């Protein structure tokens, strides 16, 4: 079975989407429509901006979403039987399985990005990548730290990202190294994504989601929070809202997709990050880029 997977924040690069834009008129029209929806020229930032421009959350997230949906249009779905997205990528996945329209998806992504940036600005917080330690040990040590620090991204076996108050993340990094982690690296982000510190953003996203039409899925989406196949639009809504303060269980989602028959994963969007993670989760499956 074929699965489409969609990347999240961090996969952006200067020039992203330009080849897609130049490849077909219908894709060009779709991408130009994004400028209208957002009310500013995001394509000029994608094609000709700087790394600093693209690292701004309110630019990064819509840019990756636009690129992913344009790439999806280029391959016409490839006859996929299931979809999943890493964090932000879940919105692209919901366009792929018919739950969201392009314009509704982009509006939600833009709202989400702005709300997350506001939450970041309100609290000094950060994230760190922990390499070479079992998930259970990371969970145990985070629970012992005073202050907010939680597992945020279960990316693949031996790679887990933690998130929370800067002082608590730094303390956890010291203790995790002492416990045997090969590396504990603070990430160049200015906020604690997928932690309780995103609660104000979650409330704003929930209000926007409740006003948006969600259709029944044509194929299942394996959501970050539940890790299992979902097609009911009300469930999908609640899982999207919960995702903002809860962990991205990518390892578990991919394992469940494979258990349910996925053997061929196609990454739709910028970069190849998810292909690398999936190979580390299960080396027996095929992985490829959509374009």
Task: Give catalytic residue positions.
Answer: 87, 194
Answer yes or no: do 111 and 201 share one domain.
yes
What pLDDT, on the 0 to 100 scale, is given for residue 124?
80
In whole angstroms, how far apart are CA 224 and each of 58, 165, 173? Answer: 21, 22, 24
Q: Which of 147, 172, 190 is the C-terminal boundary of a domain?
A: 190
Residue range(s) defining the domain that contains residue 75: 2-121+196-289
Q: Is the model's pLDDT at 56 over the cut of 80? A: yes
Instruction: Give the tens place of pLDDT for each residue, 222-244.
Output: 999 999 999 999 999 999 999 99
Answer yes or no: do 229 and 284 share one domain.
yes
Q: Is the model's pLDDT at 262 over the cut of 80? A: yes
Instruction: Give the tens place of pLDDT for each residue, 178-224.
Output: 999 999 999 988 789 999 999 999 999 999 999 999 999 999 999 99
d(CA 286, CA 282): 9
* CB-based contacts of 259, cutoff 8 Å, min separation 6: none
Answer yes or no: do 157 and 63 share one domain.
no
Answer yes or no: do 139 and 275 share one domain.
no
Answer yes or no: do 94 and 208 share one domain.
yes
Q: Which of 190, 216, 240 is the C-terminal boundary of a domain?
A: 190
d(CA 179, CA 158): 13
Which run of H or E residues covers position 211? none
Answer yes or no: do 223 and 159 share one domain.
no
Query: What does pLDDT average to over the chain?
Result: 96
Which run of H or E residues covers position 2? strand 2-6
**Residue 167, domain CATH:** 3.30.70.250
Answer yes or no: do 235 and 270 share one domain.
yes
Which run of H or E residues covers position 222? strand 221-222
* CB-based contacts of 202, cutoff 8 Å, min separation 6: 115, 241, 244, 245
The DSSP letter of residue 217 is: P
Span of 121-130, 198-207, 233-242, 248-257 with lowest mean pLDDT: 121-130
pTM: 0.96
Answer yes or no: do 43 and 97 share one domain.
yes
Given pLDDT bands bounded at 50, 70 and 90, which one contains residue 119? very high
Answer yes or no: do 251 and 139 share one domain.
no
Answer yes or no: do 212 and 251 share one domain.
yes
Answer yes or no: do 102 and 220 share one domain.
yes
Answer yes or no: do 151 and 19 share one domain.
no
**Residue 107, domain CATH:** 3.40.366.10
Nearest to 160 by CA among 147, 65, 146, 179: 179
Q: Which of 146, 163, 190 is the C-terminal boundary of a domain?
A: 190
Structural domain count, the chain: 2
Q: Is the model's pLDDT at 136 over the cut of 80? A: yes
């Amino acid at each position: 079975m074929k699965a489409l997977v969609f990347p999240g924040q961090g996969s952006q690069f200067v020039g992203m989407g330009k080849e897609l834009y130049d490849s077909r008129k219908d894709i060009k029209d779709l991408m130009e429509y994004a400028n209208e929806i957002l009310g500013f020229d995001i394509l000029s930032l994608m094609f000709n901006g700087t790394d600093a421009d693209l690292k701004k959350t309110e630019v990064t997230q819509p840019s990756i979403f636009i690129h992913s949906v344009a790439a999806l249009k280029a391959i016409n779905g490839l006859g996929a039987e299931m979809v999943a997205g890493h964090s932000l990528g879940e919105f692209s996945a919901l366009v792929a399985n018919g739950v969201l329209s392009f314009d509704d998806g982009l509006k939600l992504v833009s709202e989400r990005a702005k709300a997350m940036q506001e939450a970041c600005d309100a609290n000094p917080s950060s994230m760190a990548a922990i390499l070479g330690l079992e998930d259970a040990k990371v969970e145990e040590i985070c629970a012992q730290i005073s202050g907010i620090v939680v597992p945020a991204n279960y990316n693949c076996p031996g790679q887990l990202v933690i998130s929370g108050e800067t002082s608590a993340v730094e303390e956890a990094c010291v203790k995790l190294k002492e416990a045997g982690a090969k590396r504990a690296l603070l990430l160049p982000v200015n906020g604690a994504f997928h932690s309780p510190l995103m609660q104000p953003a979650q409330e704003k996203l929930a209000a926007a989601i409740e006003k948006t039409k969600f259709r029944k899925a044509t194929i299942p989406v394996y959501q970050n929070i539940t890790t299992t196949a979902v097609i009911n639009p009300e469930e999908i809504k609640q899982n999207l809202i919960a995702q903002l303060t809860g962990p991205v269980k990518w390892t578990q989602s991919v394992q469940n997709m494979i258990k349910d028959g996925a053997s061929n994963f196609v990454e739709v969007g910028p970069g190849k990050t998810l292909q690398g993670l999936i190979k580390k989760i299960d080396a027996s499956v095929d992985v490829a880029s959509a374009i």
